[in-house]
Amino acid sequence: MSDVEHWLVWFNHPLSLYLLSLFGMLVHYIKEKFKDDSLASLVSYMRCHTLTFFMSFGITTILFATFLATLQTGKPLDYMAVFTLGYTVDSFFNKYDQTKIIKPK
């Protein structure tokens, strides 16, 4: 087994794909951070928007499990699918309302 094949076997592991879907959620937060420089830190956001954060986290987890059970192909397209899944769910549930964020002093 070559090094590339060994890497792909590890990357196709469900835990790796799940972490990639959570990374999609993080990338959406970073995009919003760059779009609006006044957005507070991730920890501050999670403290002020606990319900929507856990709702998007839970729904990402449920949709990821559904993806594994029904759609996983073992091909590179899976990586984009799970990344997009996390990004889209975070985009839908977390609207990043600036009025609810506590700014550090």
Looking at the domain assignment, is residue 105 inside a domain?
A: no
Domain count, the chain: 1
Looking at the domain assignment, is residue 61 inside a domain?
A: yes
- Rounded to whole angstroms, the Cα distance separating 31 from 20 reads 16
Rounded mean pLDDT of the chain? 78
Looking at the domain assignment, is residue 80 inside a domain?
A: yes
Residue 22 is encoded by which pair of tokens?
């959570």
- When mean pLDDT is compared over 30-44, 69-83, 86-100, the highest value belongs to 69-83
Closest CA to 18 of 77, 74, 85: 85
Looking at the domain assignment, is residue 34 inside a domain?
A: yes
Is residue 14's pLDDT more than 80?
A: yes
Backbone angles phi, psi at 60, to 5 degrees: -60, -40
Q: How confident is the model at residue 29 (pLDDT cuts 50, 70, 90)?
A: confident
Looking at the domain assignment, is residue 45 inside a domain?
A: yes
Each residue's pLDDT tens digit, 38-74: 566 777 777 777 888 888 889 999 999 998 888 878 7
Domain around 36: 3-100
Does 50 or 87 have the greater pLDDT score?
A: 87
